[in-house]
Amino acid sequence: MLVVGSRHIRRGMRWSALGGPSQHALHAQQRLAHARTSTSSSDKPTLSFSLNSPRPYSAGASGFLGALKKTQERFTSALTQLTQGGVNDSVLKQVEQTLVAADVGVETATYLVGRVKSSCNSKSTMEDIQKVLKAEVEQVFKSVLPMQKVGWALLGENMDGPNQNDKPKRRGRVPKKPQVLFVMGPNGVGKTTTIAKLCHRYSHILNAKGSEGSEKKVVLAAGDTFRAAAVEQLQVWGDRLDVMTVTADDMPSPQTIDVFRKAVDVAKSENASLLVCDTAGVLPSNTKKMKELGELRDKSGKIKPGAPDGVWIVIDATMGNHTSLEYVQSFAKQTKATGVVLTKLDSSSKGGVAIGICHTVGLPILYVGVGEDIAHLEPFDHGAFIESLLSTDQ
């Protein structure tokens, strides 16, 4: 029997598909109280939580640029140590090694060094090299900018750029409700907590627009039917964020598509504007499960025409370039993914993986995790990223 958590019938309680309380409903209030106070269990969210307005974009020691600090220090330190005697094979080799060390990836590093070689000469300075790298990396990010804007529009972000939601800029077309977002990725990358951060950001973006009522409703579908802890974790976040969560409680042999089907019905009945569907963590080597994710994407359109509106891959920035690219390429091929969310950017000195993903796979980085707080998810600002790593004024 599918059950639904509803804030409208009774806040914090889950209800069956037929409208009556589920067998767990009597314990929902205790679970919510426990979720608000307990962070010791590995199955419970450990993000610090606040429903205050998201922290403003920071160009200082915190926020997006703060998360790039480790990558910036490693990258700029290596570049400034290179010889100032002009561009030669030795310098080019050192530039390539620096790019690879920052997790840009061999293919992308080779491409960028080739551009440096064709644009510079024996009289060029390190500043000239940085200018070329800056221009080429900017082109890499601009090549996926249209897809990035589509991804931002799905959450109601300002399509003229991140962190501009206080300004009355243009926005995309008004879609038919609900829009559908599938969140996918391998095990252990923070997929479920990323969903919580996305929902938090979404609700506050709409609040900033002054919207009321149904426009800011979100429904979560607990589609990871293989791991009970993932379902429980999503339910806890749903209660905390006051968001309905559809699960497959008491349903024999549930499949993600079954949960999705019911979630679509619930989202329509509640006039929700966004349906976010969690999925099982899958490694690319598990060809059977990867194929099922692709089938889920295809079948969803038969249940809700036009679905999905987005398929986002969650990747851990600390994984390393080779693993990250392998995972993103596999998910992109199998599920026709539309964007990437990069978590733990603040814990990595190898943020160059963002360049490699955009250049090699052709997918945009949509959001980055910049800390453990619920509000620590920000749009990927490629301009700030480039300035942080390759500014000639440093």
Domain limit, last residue, from 108, 124, 142: 142
Co-location of 137 and 207 in the same domain: no
**Residue 51 falls inside a structural domain:** no
**Confidence grade of residue 41 (pLDDT, cut at 50, 70, 90):** very low
- The helix-helix angle for 106-119 and 353-360 (nearest 10°) equals 90
The tally of CA atoms less than 13 A away on the side-chain side of residue 339 is 29
Domain limit, last residue, from 121, 142, 163: 142
Say if pTM beats, i.e. exceeds, 0.95: no
Question: Torsion-angle region of residue 174: left (phi > 0), alpha (psi -120 to 50) or beta?
Answer: beta
Q: Which of 10-24, 42-56, 57-71 has the highest mean pLDDT?
A: 57-71
pLDDT at res. 79: 64
* Residue scoring higher pLDDT (157 or 272): 272
- Rounded Cα distance, 104 and 126, in Å: 19
Co-location of 197 and 312 in the same domain: yes
How does pLDDT run across 111-132, given as a tens digit for each residue? 999 999 999 988 888 888 889 9
26-55: buried (b, 16+ CB within 10 Å) or exposed (e) per residue?
eebeebbeebeeeeeeeeebebebeeeebe
How does pLDDT run across 300-317, given as a tens digit for each residue? 999 999 999 999 999 998
* Residue scoring higher pLDDT (31 or 229): 229
Co-location of 103 and 151 in the same domain: no
User: How far does CA 301 lie from the centroid of its chain?
Assistant: 22
pLDDT (average), residues 183-212: 82
**302: phi then psi, degrees, rounded to nearest 5:** -80, -25
- Among 212, 208, 224, 205, which Cα is nearest to 271's? 212
CATH of the domain at 102: 1.20.120.140
Classify burial at 357, counting beta carbons within 10 Å of its beta carbon; exposed 0-12, middle 13-18, buried 19 or more.
buried
pLDDT at 139 over 90: yes
Co-location of 334 and 352 in the same domain: yes
**340 bridge partner residues:** 313, 365
Listed in sequence order, the DSSP H helices in the chain are 28-37, 63-67, 69-80, 89-101, 106-119, 126-143, 145-154, 191-208, 228-241, 256-269, 287-303, 321-335, 353-360, 382-390
**Number of structural domains in the chain:** 2
Co-location of 325 and 209 in the same domain: yes
Co-location of 163 and 259 in the same domain: yes
From first CA to last CA, the distance across the chain in angstroms is 60
Quick check: 178 and 264 in contact, CB under 8 A?
yes
Co-location of 200 and 316 in the same domain: yes
**Rounded (to 5) percent helix, strand, coil in the chain:** 45, 10, 40
Averaged confidence pLDDT in the chain:
78
